[in-house]
Amino acid sequence: MAIQFTLGRFKPIALSLAVTSALVSQSAIAQEITFSLPEQGLASAIDQISRQGQVSLLYDKSQLNGLRAPALSGSYTPQTALQKILIGSGLELVNENGMLVIRPQNLNQGTLVLPETQVSGVVQNHPAMDVMSAPQYVTSEEISQKNTGDGNITDLMKTNPAVQFANNDSNSMNQGEIKPSRISIHGSSSYQNAYRLDGVSFNNDFDPADSGLGETATRLSSSDQGIYIDSRLIDSMAVYDNNIPVEFGGFTGGTVEVNSRRWQGENSAHAYYRLTRSGWNNLFHDSTQSIDTTKNDTANPARFQNRYDKNDFGGWFELGVTENSGVVFSASRRSSTIPMTVTGGEAFVLENNTIKPIYSDSGKKNQRRTSDNYFLKYSMNLSEKSSLDLSANYASYDSRLFSSSISNSGYDSTHDGLGLTAVFKHQFDLGQFEATANTQSLKDDRKNDQKYSLMVRAIEFDDDYNYLGTTERNSGGLGDLESKQNTHSLKTVMRFNPQEDSLGLTHQPTAGAEVNYTKGTYVRDHDYFQYTYSGNLMGDDYSGTLTNISRFKKGSYSADYTNYAIFLDDNIQYGKLTLRPGVRLDRDDFVNRTNVAPRISGTYDLFGDKKTLLIAGANRYYGRSMLTYALYGAQNGGMQTCAGYFEPCSLIPENNEWDNKKDYEGIDSLKTPYNDELTLALQQEILSTTWRLQYVHREGYDEVRTRTKYDSRDANKRSIRMYDNGGRSSHDTVTLSVNNSQPWEWAEASHVMTASFTWQQSESNTPKDSGYNSFDPGNKVNLNKVWYDGKVIDSSKLPSTSFNSPIKLNLEMTSVWDEYDVTWYNRLQWWGSRDQAVRYDNAYYTDPEYGQLRKYTKQNFASKYTWDTRLGWKPDFAYGFGFSVEVNNVLNNKNIADRFMFDDRTIKSYDPGRQFWLQVNYDL
């Protein structure tokens, strides 16, 4: 039927409405009923609650398209049950003259989405209902309203108070890049966060930390994420950073849980196109060193970027296949073109075992970056209690790089990931059972234009034999390499319904187990040579000898391990007190240790009105084993050298005497790194806002690092390294956050706000930005002490060398004017000044008591702030088209990001200045 009605301030509109159930008395609405509903479409959940509770509802079915309801178990009144499943949907339940009505919180072109309200009491399997962990939870609707930058999932965490970004990942010199930024959660290493898609890990375990030295002959430049997911294609993301449930493991920092879209019973299509240009971005630089692309070398072929063009486009559609099944397909491409200046000129190559000159012109040449995402999910509702999802995810990242001053130095670097996942869910009388099976393949590959490297060192003369000086000319790259990471996993979870025991305690256990098999392979498909010639150059005539060769032998090396885990927790409620004790047991056959991680958290409702909650927890988190632990020896073990001091080397390998130059001799009883955590929080509801004051303390133990193995001056021993568990760290975070649980209405608009003020402090005896392969070649260095700011201190007390902004203020506001079809998002951020430990030129200090120490200097960075904004417009007359403009750093503030050494000078890098993104989107 079609009727007209007026709700609140909304103008009368004609809707096709569904009235469920028969009219009943108000006493039925107040009666508690036991519900046991699986996660499902919102329309189905509303229908089941209304029928089971025998209540009348008035709502527009079309408003429920594409919305999901979380699992619901426990005893509630029908009204409370409906309110719980509507959390985060953009809809609300109101009582209009005795009739329960489900209506939009804002009837707008882009529904105003409230942050997920924290609900006390029984914790369901939904981030919004977990008041103990209080994860950051972002829905697809919110993502569509925010500044999303390059579209990586880390771009959604900019205002997360527990997250710190690497100082120099995104600055004015590298704005052409599209890779995700590294993040640290509560001071932990960026590569010890767990990234999961639909419950399946997509971490890269081939030393994803940046060593600061760029690409090398034995190392591929990669990332801690094995798949670069486009955030605009996902359904939701939850970031767990404290009091993390035992279901999650394999991290010392936190867990990032990404959920893909699922067919919701309707057909729809969506598309978007975004672009930005370097001309739309003010790129600040150090006055002593402009952004000069000719300074890019082989190790850092893209350090300086003064031009770029970025284009992003993509979309998704949902299509019903049968009455109870449907498919979702999404795809996107993010691309960047980065012009570089090449110096050109003369160089040399090898032809028929003879050195030949080559010439190339100077001018412009483009580097490229491309990131593709493809996702397909087929969903079947097998019955009212069972569902099956089958999905395939493919992500590819391709880059074309070269050194501006080295001939034939170009190479193609690819980073691909393919995953196949099946998720089965069934609602038993006791609770919900969930089984997830997955197989995944990750691959990094580097292919060079020239399969060898040639350096020619020469004394140069003119045609009259006049000395002109010395010259060095290079050609070639770093050699072809490939690494593969294959994983097969199976996980089962049983989430029990609440049960009351004889003592009046309500229990809601969760139990599960998982097994993961991981195999890593490191491949060099042919010998790679680095040749060095020394001689004389007169015009085009070169005469010299082959004085040195480094050879990296071809081969394929593999390592694998199996990880087993079981976990159990119980959500226990008694009166005002709720406790969640749990334990997780992990074991892998690489370190051959069983790691027991106890975790307990709880809440206490101080006044029994669910408005004032005291929250506390004590937890242990174990990290992951890294494939490089086992494969590092293979990576560098194939290196050999020929030194032509007395007799020149030969281009024919069999004619040379080769010296093995291994730099690695194993693992010293390696253990799994872990963090111990203590948390304390107070949460208070005040009018329509939720305030939370929280303290988190972390102690990091057994962190993996490399060190010299021998105390020797023997050239064959002093560079030998090994792994140990000598890494140690500590971290403290204090956060005051607030958000409004209901929209504020003023100026004819609805407004949703979140804000936080955070203080953090991190200390570590190993640089968090360099990874577990960070190595100090000084064989007599005392790693337990460092020289810092004029005195010797314990290395564990050294301030963090990155991810170190001690004071941060975040404010987000989303405003919607439904009358004008306008959405306006604003993000204000302020960082306090900081003192950072920096080490220039690998400096040392010799102390009479402690010996040779690493020397760090205290570097002060001033406070800074930015204002980012996004304005969206989707008018009714545009037939589904919408338009938006994003502006980052609106005030064009010149903020220092970091300092680094270049050409024997300390150079300042800056955050990007004002930047514009334009977008057009279409919804059908």
Q: Distance between CA 198 and CA 178 in Å, rounded?
A: 24
Is-contact 813 844, C-beta < 8 A?
no
Cα-to-chain-centroid distance, residue 751: 29
Tokens of 1: 């039927």
| Calpha distance 773→660 (Å, rounded) | 21
Is residue 484 within 8 Å of 455, Cβ to Cβ? no
- 3-state helix/strand/coil string of 584-595: EEEEECCCCEEE
- CA dist 164 and 800 (Å) reads 11
CA distance 330 to 311: 17
Q: Give the Å distances, CA to CA, from 333 to 143, 150, 506.
A: 17, 11, 49
What's the confidence (pLDDT) of residue 659? Answer: 87
Rounded to 5 degrees, what are φ and ψ at 429? -65, -30
3-state secondary structure of 131: coil
Would you give the end-to-end CA distance of the chain in angstroms? 24
DSSP state of 646: S
As a whole number of angstroms, the distance between CA 910 and CA 924 comes to 42
d(CA 732, CA 796): 14
Which pLDDT tens digit goes with each residue over 5-60?
223 322 222 233 333 333 333 444 456 787 877 777 788 788 888 877 777 787 77
Task: Please name which of 36, 54, 40, 55 lies closest in space to residue 102, comparing C-alpha atoms.
Answer: 55
Which DSSP symbol is given to 80?
H
Three-state SS annotation for 784-820? EEEEECCEEEEHHHCECCCCCCCEEEEEEEEEEECCC
CB atoms within 10 A of CB 746: 8
Residue that has been written with the tokens 């009837």 in this structure: 107
Task: Tell me how far apart the alpha carbons of residues 671 and 190 are, in angstroms, rounded to a whole number.
Answer: 19
Q: Average pLDDT across each block of 10 residues of the chain; the chain has 924 residues. List them in order.
A: 29 32 40 76 82 77 74 78 83 70 59 39 62 92 92 95 88 92 91 94 80 70 88 94 96 96 88 96 88 83 92 95 94 96 89 87 93 96 92 96 92 95 94 96 94 90 77 90 95 94 92 96 93 82 85 90 96 95 93 93 94 97 83 74 88 90 73 96 92 97 82 69 86 95 84 95 79 65 84 85 89 92 96 86 82 86 95 92 97 91 84 96 92
> What residues are paired with 60 via a beta bridge?
17
Q: How many residues does the chain have?
A: 924
User: Quick one: pLDDT at residue 1?
Assistant: 28
pLDDT attached to residue 775: 64
Count of helix runs (H) and strand runs (E) in the chain:
5, 56
Q: Order across the sheet with 236-240: list the strands.
A: 136-139, 236-240, 255-259, 194-197, 200-201
CB 274 within 8 A of CB 311: yes
What angle (nearest 5°) sits at the alpha carbon of residue 140, between those of residues 134 and 142?
70
Helix or strand (DSSP H, E) at 83: helix 78-85
What amino acid occupies position 3? I
Q: Are strands 354-360 and 612-622 parallel, antiparallel or unpaired?
A: unpaired
Q: Mind listing the pLDDT tens digit for each residue in 360-404?
A: 888 999 999 999 999 999 999 998 889 999 999 999 999 999 999
Burial (CB count <10 Å: 0-12, 13-18, 19+), residue 424 = middle
DSSP code string of 166-234: -TTSS-TT-TT--SPPPEEETT--GGGSEEEETTEE-B--S--S--SS--BTTB----SBSS--BGGG-
* Spatial contact of 886 and 917, defined as CB atoms under 8 Å apart: yes
Residue 355 tokens, joined: 């050195």
How far, in Å, CA of 91 to CA of 669, rounded?
56
Report yes or no: 564 and 542 within 8 Å, Cβ to Cβ.
no
Structure tokens given for 118: 């924290």
- The answer to whether the beta carbons of residues 620 and 598 sit under 8 Å apart is yes
Nearest to 230, CA basis, from 332, 328, 316, 311: 332
Contacts (Cβ under 8 Å, ≥6 apart) of 349: 355, 356, 358, 407, 408, 450, 454, 475
Q: Which residue has the tokens 């009455």?
A: 323
Cβ atoms of residues 46 and 91 within 8 Å = no
Give residues with Cβ within 8 angstroms of 904, minimum separation 6: none
| Residue 504: C-alpha distances to residues 496, 574, 688 (Å) | 17, 7, 33
For residue 299, the one-letter residue type is A
Q: Are 729 and 796 in contact (CB under 8 A)?
A: yes
Cα separation, 224 vs 210, in Å, equals 10
Q: Two tokens at 691? A: 């305030």
Can you tell me the distance from the alpha carbon of 108 to that of 820, in angstroms, rounded to the nearest whole number? 9
Instruction: Output the DSSP codes for 573-641.
Output: EETTEEEEEEEEEEEETTTTEEEEEEEEEEEEETTSSSSEEEEEEEEEEE----HHHHHHHHHHHTEEE
Measured distance CA(94)–CA(92) in Å, rounded: 6
| Paired residues of 358 in beta bridges | 347
Tokens for 800, please give them.
């963090």
Pair type for strands 851-861 and 781-788: parallel
Token pair recorded at residue 339: 């012009």
Torsion of Cα atoms, 151 then 833 then 679 then 185, to 10°: 30
